[in-house]
């Protein structure tokens, strides 16, 4: 068991000025110069946001403030101070006294960050014990107080539960409770809401805003510019390890000076951009995506019901999807949208109702017939890395999909190159393994794999939620271009309502397994009839182009 950290922390009463301050920060990993000349400070009650694409250096910058860059990193700075103390020469024991006590850290994926082998209450208690924040006899009571403070219902029950027994929102709240357990002066939040539903995201943002009002300094790392607009006082825009723009959040988000910042903002799906490409170059006019007339019905779902023990996950869901069209499905975690997708894919059998692909229902088919029908419906997941065999090259990943599609062995390489070109990659990618590809490249390979059997339908299950805004824009444009060219239909599942609005022709809104509203995307997003739909839309943060601040629709 880890021994308590007994090294005394600096008295808060002696600290004035910024909680953390760095000047001319450089971080290198061998020949890779990941952070170059970054300077900023974070004061009590202030939120500084760092935005930029993957590889821009934003997360490395944040981890440097906690001494978490690793043994191979070379860190140097003209000045690096934490609560007024020079931290440039800190050793691991000194950093351990700072982590959790002086600086809290909230990561994106709470399920990975929390220990899956112990209840969340013990996880929080461990932080209190390590820093001797409260007497041992008061630890259990303080854990309950913390869970209640971050809005966890039934905290006594939740403290005894393991991470996998909690929803994504509750896990993230438990992670925040652990991060604030010792009242840190600075809270670093690295993509804290990316994987959350829009209503849970709104709750987490309110929680972070409350900590800020109470005087906690926040360093926010996010690719969601609407989230940044809601919380940040200042914004640093990073590209290739360098800060290319720095200023008040309102000014940076409404009147950006650097072309890269303008490109990031232009990539955000907004109402005025529907029907046009999001990934455009500086000064280039928005180009429309050629519409394709709807074709025949390719999916017909009728009164689908699926139960898991005493819980009904899908209850009476019906819809049609035509070739060349996109049907978006939205709803909170547990609404039944992913279970609906699994029923459509034939991965689950419904307890009632039916799904037909090109007029052929899954029910009653032989194993051979099901394999043949599955060629016509493919899937793209949120995290392609977890769906690829890491030992396989891109060539082999595509070869397996082409084999399923019945492609002759002699033409598979040429067809693989053709697929890569369709998704904006070249033949040089064929021999790479997934870990050697960027997030955007992996998602393009996943789309190429889905296209290999020449499907009629592709189910897109959160295909862009883990991507930076500019890469997201490229993938959305790619999907639209492929639909226009090939006539493929998409069943598009996402918690990002702005993305759903941008890509969809029709929308299903699900709650507790039922469809509460469905219809044309413009009608759903401008004149919603159901109260639940209005609540979802009211929770979506949007950037006001004139002021750079967040606005929300009235519920």
List the CATH number of the domain containing 517.
Answer: 3.40.50.300
268 part of a folded domain: no
Distance CA 220, CA 106 (A): 10
**Domain boundary residue, one of 214, 231, 248:** 231
Residues 127 and 43 in one domain: yes
Packed helices 168-179 and 139-149: angle between N→C axes, nearest 10 degrees: 120
Residue 285's contacts (CB-CB under 8 Å, 6 or more residues apart) are: none
255 part of a folded domain: no
Q: 3-state class of 73 per DSSP?
A: strand
Element (H, E) at 74: strand 73-76
Listing DSSP states for 5-45 in one string gives: --SPPPPGGG--S-SEEEEEEEEEETTEEEEEEEEEEE-TT
Max Cα–Cα distance, the chain, nearest Å = 75
pLDDT in tens, the chain (555 residues): 555 654 544 444 445 689 999 999 999 999 999 999 999 999 999 999 999 987 889 989 999 999 999 888 999 999 999 999 999 989 999 998 898 889 999 887 666 778 889 999 999 999 899 888 889 999 999 999 999 988 888 999 999 999 888 877 788 888 889 988 998 999 999 888 876 788 878 888 888 999 899 999 999 998 888 889 999 999 999 999 999 999 999 999 999 999 999 989 988 887 777 888 888 766 666 677 777 788 899 999 999 999 998 889 999 999 999 999 999 999 988 889 989 999 999 999 999 999 999 999 999 899 999 989 999 999 998 777 778 888 999 999 999 999 988 889 899 999 999 999 999 898 999 999 988 887 788 889 999 999 999 999 999 998 887 778 888 888 899 999 999 999 999 999 988 898 999 999 999 999 999 999 999 999 999 999 999 999 999 888 878 776 776 666 655
Q: 3-state class of 309 per DSSP?
A: coil
Residues 93 and 164 in one domain: yes
**Domain boundary residue, one of 430, 454, 478:** 454
346 part of a folded domain: yes
User: What φ, ψ does residue 537 adopt, rounded to 5°?
Assistant: -65, -35
Residues 529 and 399 in one domain: no
Range 170-207 burial, b when 16+ CB lie within 10 A, else e: bbbbbbbbbbbbbebbbbbbbbbbbbbbbbbbbbbbeb
Residues 330 and 406 in one domain: no
Length of the chain: 555
Residues 496 and 420 in one domain: no
Q: ∠ CA(383), CA(385), CA(386), 5° rounding?
A: 75
Residues 133 and 67 in one domain: yes
DSSP annotation of 543 reads: E
pLDDT at 525: 93
pLDDT at 149: 85
Distance of CA 416 to the CA centre of its chain: 29
Q: ∠ CA(508), CA(514), CA(520), 5° rounding?
A: 20
Q: Where are the alpha helices (DSSP H) in 459-555?
A: 469-486, 497-503, 521-526, 531-538
**Domain boundary residue, one of 188, 203, 231:** 231
Residue 544's contacts (CB-CB under 8 Å, 6 or more residues apart) are: 229, 254, 550, 551
pLDDT at 553: 64
296 part of a folded domain: yes
Number of structural domains the chain divides into:
3
pLDDT at 285: 65
19 part of a folded domain: yes
Q: 3-state class of 508 per DSSP?
A: strand
242 part of a folded domain: no
In sequence order, the β-bridge partners of residue 362 are none
pLDDT at 111: 66
Domain of residue 198, residue span: 12-231
Residues 445 and 549 in one domain: no
Residue 525's contacts (CB-CB under 8 Å, 6 or more residues apart) are: 271, 497, 501, 507, 537
Residues 397 and 500 in one domain: no
Residues 200 and 127 in one domain: yes
Distance CA 511, CA 493 (A): 14
User: What φ, ψ does residue 318 adopt, rounded to 5°?
Assistant: -135, 145
Residues 366 and 218 in one domain: no
237 part of a folded domain: no
Listing DSSP states for 193-238 in one string gives: TTTS-HHHHHHHHHHHHHHHHTT-EEEEE-S-HHHHHHH-SEEEEE
pLDDT at 405: 85
Residues 95 and 179 in one domain: yes
246 part of a folded domain: no
Residues 397 and 537 in one domain: no
User: Which two structure tokens, joined as six digits, stand for 372?
Assistant: 């043949």
């Amino acid at each position: 068991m880890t021994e308590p950290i007994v090294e005394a922390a600096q008295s808060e009463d002696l600290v004035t000025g910024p909680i953390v301050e760095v000047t001319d920060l450089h971080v290198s990993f061998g020949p890779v110069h990941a952070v170059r000349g970054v300077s900023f400070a974070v004061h009590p009650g202030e939120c500084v946001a760092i935005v930029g694409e993957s590889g821009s250096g934003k997360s490395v910058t944040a981890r440097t403030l906690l001494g978490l860059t690793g043994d191979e990193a070379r860190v140097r700075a003209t000045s690096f101070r934490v609560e007024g103390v020079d931290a440039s020469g800190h050793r691991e024991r000194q950093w351990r006294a700072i982590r959790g006590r002086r600086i809290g850290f909230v990561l994106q994926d709470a399920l990975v960050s929390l220990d899956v082998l112990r209840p969340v209450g013990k996880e929080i208690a461990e932080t209190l014990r390590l820093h001797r924040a409260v007497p041992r006899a008061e630890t259990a009571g303080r854990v309950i107080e913390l869970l209640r403070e971050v809005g966890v219902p039934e905290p006594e029950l939740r403290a005894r539960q393991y991470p996998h027994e909690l929803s994504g929102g509750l896990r993230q709240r438990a992670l925040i409770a652990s991060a604030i357990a010792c009242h840190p002066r600075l809270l670093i939040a690295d993509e804290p809401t990316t994987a959350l539903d829009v209503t849970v995201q709104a709750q987490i943002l309110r929680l972070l805003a409350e900590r800020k009002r109470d005087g906690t300094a926040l360093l926010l790392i996010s690719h969601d510019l609407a989230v940044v607009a809601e919380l940040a006082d200042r914004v640093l825009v990073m590209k290739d390890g360098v800060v290319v723009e720095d200023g008040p959040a309102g000014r940076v988000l409404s009147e950006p000076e650097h072309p890269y910042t303008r490109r990031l903002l232009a990539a955000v799906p907004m109402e005025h951009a529907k029907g046009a490409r999001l990934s455009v170059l500086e000064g280039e006019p928005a180009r429309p995506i050629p519409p394709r007339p709807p074709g025949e019905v390719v999916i017909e779902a009728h009164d689908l019901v699926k139960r898991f023990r005493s819980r009904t996950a899908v209850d009476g869901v019906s819809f049609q999807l035509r070739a060349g069209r996109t049907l978006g499905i939205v709803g909170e975690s547990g609404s039944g949208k992913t279970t609906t997708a699994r029923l459509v894919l034939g991965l689950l059998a419904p307890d009632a109702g039916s799904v037909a692909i090109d007029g052929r229902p899954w029910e009653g088919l032989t194993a051979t017939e099901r394999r043949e029908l599955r060629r016509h419906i493919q899937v793209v997941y949120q995290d392609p890395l977890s769906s690829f065999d890491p030992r396989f090259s891109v060539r082999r990943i595509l070869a397996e999909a082409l084999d399923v599609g019945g492609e002759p062995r002699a033409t598979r390489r040429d067809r693989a190159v053709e697929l890569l070109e369709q998704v904006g990659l070249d033949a040089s990618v064929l021999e790479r393994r997934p870990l050697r590809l960027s997030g955007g490249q992996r998602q393009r390979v996943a789309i190429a794999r889905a296209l290999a059997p020449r499907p009629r339908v592709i189910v897109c299950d959160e295909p862009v939620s883990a991507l930076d805004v500019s890469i997201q824009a490229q993938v959305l444009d790619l999907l639209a271009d492929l639909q226009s060219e090939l006539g493929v239909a998409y069943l598009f599942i996402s918690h990002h309502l702005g993305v759903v609005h941008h890509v969809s022709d029709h929308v299903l809104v699900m709650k507790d397994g039922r469809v509460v509203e469905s219809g044309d995307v413009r009608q759903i997003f401008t004149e919603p009839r159901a109260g639940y739909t209005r609540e979802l839309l009211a929770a979506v943060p949007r950037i006001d182009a004139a002021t750079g601040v967040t606005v929300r629709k009235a519920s």
